[in-house]
Amino acid sequence: MKYGHFDDEHREYVITRPDTPLPWINYLGSEDYFGLISNTAGGYSFYKDARLRRITRYRYNNAPLDFGGRYIYLRDEKDGGYWSPSWQPAQRELSEYSCRHGMGYTIIASTYGGIRAETRYFVPLGENLEVWQLTVTNQRDTKAELSVFSAVEFCLWDALDDSTNFQRNYSIGEVEVEDQVIYHKSEYRERRNHFAYFACSEKCEGFDTQRESFLGSYRSWDHPLAVERGKCSNSIAHGWQPVGSFHLHLSLLPGEQKKIIFILGYYENRKDQKFDPPDSQIINKQQVKPIIKKYLHQSNVTSAFASLRSYWDDVLGSFQVQTPNEHLNRMANIWNAYQCMVTFNISRSASSFESGVGRGLGFRDSNQDLLGFVHMVPPRARERILDLASTQLPSGGAYHQYQPLTKRGNNDIGSNFNDDPHWLVIAVAAYLRETGDWSILEENLPYDNKLGSEMPLYEHLQRSIQYTLDCLGPHGLPLIGRADWNDCLNLNCFSDVPGESFQTTTGKDGKIAESVFIAALFVESTRAMADLAGNYASQHRKNSWSFQINPPKHYHELADRMTQAIYEHGWDGEWFLRAYDDFGNKVGSNECEEGKIYIEPQGFCALAGVGLENGMAKKALDSVHARLVTPHGITLLQPPYSKYYLHLGEISSYPPGYKENGGIFCHNNPWVMIAETRTGNGDRALDYYLRINPSVREELSDLHRCEPYVYVQMIAGRDAPTHGEAKNSWLTGSAAWNYVAVTQWILGIRPTFDGLCVSPVMPSAWDGFEAVRRYRGVRYTIHVERRGDGNGISLEVDGSAIHGTTIPFPPDGTKNVRVTVKVG
């Protein structure tokens, strides 16, 4: 069953009933100011950091779900009846309802008692504010006398402290109200130079800023006293819970329509200009007032919205494709690309499943996310790389996470996740293949953000590789450290204390447990490093450095040696082993009672080229097909662990079929898709892809439950009672990897150091496809057609046949290149 439909022309998903199985959310904002917004206007906003600069409150894990939002109430003055045009929180039955989630905006529209209300929510480009543009239409044949109430609840900035430290927080809330603007200024008197504001474009009857005055005591947002009574009480918050609410009258003739704007924003004053007059405690509003004024004007809001639309036209225009499969097209052209941009902005911090207080930006996560957005916003990818590399440790290791506001490594979680450093190499290689901006390698960046430790990015990459060489285990495979990509395979943890962190507890010295996955990742990253080193040294190097630069050969030898170690110690007969535990025993082997086969090394070995030459890769992929594949995707392992194993850690803490213990991780399914293309099996690659493609799964919305327009982290595996149910939507490496698998491997359009490669591994049933790829300022128009069976490729570029599958860089000044590809 479906709860809406795709509108591809407008790049929207249209939800047509409000009671979706879970809140189906979207994101507002694309630079510094962000918000989550559900299909019933729930959600919250923050500036840069969802924990440290939370603007509004949200109540996670509440009943009903999704409480706290951007609420509007309409009240009929005739009989005092009121409703929420976004359904929540009042939950009246609406005669018409739709929520259009689009690229950076959401429009919620509904009709109740002949009054239609539509609210468009978005963040104008370049601004730290959100607009709620409300249009109310009287569809009755009589005049309507209405009241409008708006409501937000402010958060006292640090979201964690806000939800725990009540002894202090109940006394510090402060606001100012001036010229119909509510300013939230808790802690402004002391060390904060920033405040939030909430404003309305039309003349208001009143306002409230104290929550209890607006709601009444012991009442909830579904029936606020002020709305019931039809009047605010102009309350000024002192302590307790500051809110922002405006009340206005609306008188509408039959057929008449009126527009009202509310804006919610964030502003930071200079420290020496905080107060006006300077010796007062009053916010200096000189700088913010013109901004507020601007966005309370309909025409400015309308043009800001048009700019947002064209921004997305441009971003998404970097890659567009038309294949015979509409689900693939829709995801690749619209939603998957959009989700990649969201993961770039938000990382894993704030969603329906991430509270915004838990995690900053993950080192491995952000580097992988980059693979999915680098072609859309290359300069921002560059910045992200520099930030990430500056948190790297001198050993080449990495902080597992950093806080976006401070850009410092997070000490609570620390380092020693031994896969981390390699993702930096992979991200930088992707950036260079995309942009050819070799100057990035010469950026001087610190280690651990320490002044004086600066080294060129190039040396950071060399140290990433060295890091693994410095921690090889008994079989010559990389030691796993706290964990590798699979954060829950904690082979050195040995925790038997309830509540102790699996991520940071270390019970063993870490000298035995090895990871076959990191071995494969190492091969991939050293091969990338070899290409990068070769290109850099021969063509692009500007500086000479004091540290040693290794030639490509060095990296190929390392990759060869690691490949041999995998062949000798990482092969189980039918598939690749996953790891060795702290006792030196195999993990992910047919010899194991549970957890016999894991997905990660099967996909990643073939992806990295390991086992392609000797048939191991193919065999491993056949084992995946036989043992791990379900109708809802490929499970992470089989059989799942039925009990807790001290020596395996968190993976065995999950009930069978969930998360890393046999759930379907949509993040590593694409590794298998890529692997299948590397062994020439486009049919299987597409088949796997379509099993987890959200748009395909739209039909199963009752089972799947999460948004049908974005990937989730996990779908419950076959051993879970709810097999096929999705969780953890939006913020997941699934976005980047599915995008890469589809666009670069199935469609085969991928940047290389030598030009754009076009090498599709097309499903046998397809007769071809069309694509447009913007690459280094050139527009490639690609026409692919099947001429016969198999994957043979011949390329014509602007009418002339070329050798191989990589199109050499065209002469400077070229704007368009036409590519014809014959397959078979």
Active site residues: 487
Q: Which of 693, 696, 689 minimizes the C-alpha distance to 670?
A: 689
DSSP per-residue string spanning 539-588:
II-----SS----HHHHHHHHHHHHHHHHHHSB-SSSB--EE-TTS-EES
486 touching ligand GLC, by CB under 6 A = yes
> Of 212-220, 240-248, 359-367, 683-691, which segment contacts ligand GLC by CB under 6 A?
359-367
Nearer to ligand GLC, 401 or 630 (CB): 401
> Of 148-156, 357-365, 681-689, 768-776, which segment contacts ligand GLC by CB under 6 A?
357-365
Q: How far is the CB of 336 from ligand GLC (least distance, A)?
A: 17
CA distance 581 to 511: 10
Q: How far is the CB of 660 from ligand GLC (least distance, A)?
A: 5
Q: How far is the CB of 434 from ligand GLC (least distance, A)?
A: 23
Among 176, 487, 514, 531, the residue binding ligand GLC under the rule CB under 6 A is: 487
AA identity, residue 458: Y
Site residues (CB under 6 A) for ligand GLC, limited to 501-560 = 503
Nearer to ligand GLC, 618 or 727 (CB): 727
The pair phi, psi for residue 779, each rounded to 5°, is -100, 115
Nearer to ligand GLC, 49 or 487 (CB): 487
Tokens representing 233?
Answer: 């009480």
Nearer to ligand GLC, 368 or 744 (CB): 368
Nearer to ligand GLC, 235 or 410 (CB): 410
Residues 144-172 as b or e (16 or more Cβ within 10 Å = b): bebbbbbbbbbbbbbbebbbeeeeebeeb
369 touching ligand GLC, by CB under 6 A = no
Nearer to ligand GLC, 74 or 413 (CB): 413
Q: Which residues contact 279 (CB under 8 A, 6 or more apart)?
A: none
Q: How far is the CB of 489 from ligand GLC (least distance, A)?
A: 8
User: What region, left, alpha or beta, does residue 364 occupy, with left being phi > 0 and alpha being psi -120 to 50 degrees?
Assistant: alpha
Q: How far is the CB of 713 from ligand GLC (least distance, A)?
A: 5
Among 162, 176, 365, 459, the residue binding ligand GLC under the rule CB under 6 A is: 365
DSSP per-residue string spanning 59-76:
BTT-SSSSB-B-EEEEEE
Q: Which of 367, 629, 599 minimizes the C-alpha distance to 486?
A: 599
In contact, 430 and 418? CB cutoff 8 Å:
no
Residue 393, CB-side half-sphere exposure with 13 Å CA sphere:
20
Q: How far is the CB of 730 from ligand GLC (least distance, A)?
A: 12
Nearer to ligand GLC, 195 or 665 (CB): 665
Among 184, 578, 659, 691, the residue binding ligand GLC under the rule CB under 6 A is: 659
Q: Kindly determine how many residues on this chain lie close enough to bind ligand GLC according to the rule CB under 6 A.
A: 15
Nearer to ligand GLC, 188 or 658 (CB): 658
Q: Which residues contact 18 (CB under 8 A, 6 or more apart)?
A: 39, 40, 86, 87, 88, 94, 97, 99
Site residues (CB under 6 A) for ligand GLC, limited to 713-742 = 713, 732-733
Q: How far is the CB of 464 from ligand GLC (least distance, A)?
A: 17
Among 100, 364, 678, 697, the residue binding ligand GLC under the rule CB under 6 A is: 364
Using DSSP, state whether 360 is helix, strand or coil: coil
Q: How far is the CB of 391 from ligand GLC (least distance, A)?
A: 15
Nearer to ligand GLC, 67 or 711 (CB): 711
| Residues present in the chain in total | 824
650 touching ligand GLC, by CB under 6 A = yes
AA identity, residue 751: P
CA distance 345 to 590: 41
660 touching ligand GLC, by CB under 6 A = yes
> Of 146-154, 215-223, 481-489, 637-645, which segment contacts ligand GLC by CB under 6 A?
481-489
Nearer to ligand GLC, 453 or 722 (CB): 722
In contact, 68 and 38? CB cutoff 8 Å:
no
CA distance 793 to 62: 55
Q: How far is the CB of 444 from ligand GLC (least distance, A)?
A: 28
Among 283, 350, 429, 488, the residue binding ligand GLC under the rule CB under 6 A is: 488
> Of 100-108, 484-492, 557-565, 795-803, which segment contacts ligand GLC by CB under 6 A?
484-492
> Of 461-469, 480-488, 704-712, 782-790, which segment contacts ligand GLC by CB under 6 A?
480-488
The residue nearest ligand GLC at its CB is 487
420 touching ligand GLC, by CB under 6 A = no
CA distance 283 to 319: 46
Strands 778-786 vs 816-823: parallel, antiparallel or unpaired? parallel
763 touching ligand GLC, by CB under 6 A = no
> Of 189-197, 233-241, 307-315, 360-368, which segment contacts ligand GLC by CB under 6 A?
360-368
Whole-angstrom CA distances from 116 to 42, 75, 517 are 20, 13, 56
Site residues (CB under 6 A) for ligand GLC, limited to 259-278 = none
Sign of the Cα torsion 308, 311, 315, 320 reads: positive
Q: Which residues contact 330 (CB under 8 A, 6 or more apart)?
A: 6, 8, 695
Whole-angstrom CA distances from 701 to 5, 108, 479, 667, 730 are 11, 20, 42, 20, 16
485 touching ligand GLC, by CB under 6 A = yes
Nearer to ligand GLC, 122 or 517 (CB): 517
348 touching ligand GLC, by CB under 6 A = yes
Among 35, 362, 663, 751, the residue binding ligand GLC under the rule CB under 6 A is: 362
CA distance 805 to 783: 14
**Which residues of this protein are in contact with ligand GLC, per CB under 6 A?**
348, 362, 364-365, 485-488, 503, 650, 659-660, 713, 732-733
